[in-house]
Chain A
């Protein structure tokens, strides 16, 4: 920073300082408030950007997986890989599913619960995502809507048969011995305060 530059800045700063000399800590509070504020904004923007950009990398990895049938990590240090592509024809939404429904994976895309099944098996497939990123449209999904899912085994279609809100403190996802797709996300949608125990669950049966 050259001298004249810093001097110019100093000018403006001093101008403010002049009046607030009575409260020297006031400036500090202002600065702190601003830093914390931008931290908050920054981290939420960071989450959103991460969530949306990651889908492109995951899409590439899924394409590679489809070509050679092997697992591909979307980025070199990832500990997960895409296992399926979800398509909601009625909503014109497409998203890629990662393996393992951990918080870390769900920041990047919908994720499959490992102990659940895969489409084509006679056991429920549980896929979860956040209601303010990849599953923000889940609330618009109607009964009898069709969900397509593409896995390495081929394409499978499911029809929405049940939509309900469940308190996760009292109930868990029940894994049934039938080929069904269970999508879960938080409820309510568009809520400011999150971390509640309510979950939105969509159950679709293989057709």
Chain B
């Protein structure tokens, strides 16, 4: 067919799919697709942010107290870890654009390690919550509430429900991101990504930054409420 004659001879090496005319068109389409996907992700997290906003404005005092029971130092350390992972991700993208195969692999592995550190710290924080009976359910109890009655304990549970839902969904996205990084590392080692073709590194980089930004919002909303109130 005539349309196939326009395809370049080294179709496989440029990975140009048959529905596209040029590599630039394909890259544009993939990039736009990723941005739209990230918009759907914003709407997805948006439901949780809405629920958080509603309940925090309904029960500001209890939320502030509940917030202080989370360890802000672990949270701050994790923020630094995640921001650094964004840096290494950008460096990987840059290396891909320059076609530096060994540097791509190196920076991707660094990103993966930092992501792993983040998840490890997160798991430790969750375990602490378990030890302190801060998991919503029959055994739930939070110290320091005034008045400390069934009603405010209920509201405090609501805070932790949101805490686990939001950080849980975020961690789930980190795990997906780690899987994607592993895929990139394998492919990069095979020399798949060159100065001409590096779209997957670029797009998974976008995804990684997005997950990072979600955390940038989660950290103050969940860890720093008490400090917001000016105490």
A, B bound: no
Q: Footprint of A on B, CB under 8 Å?
A: none
Q: Footprint of B on A, CB under 8 Å?
A: none
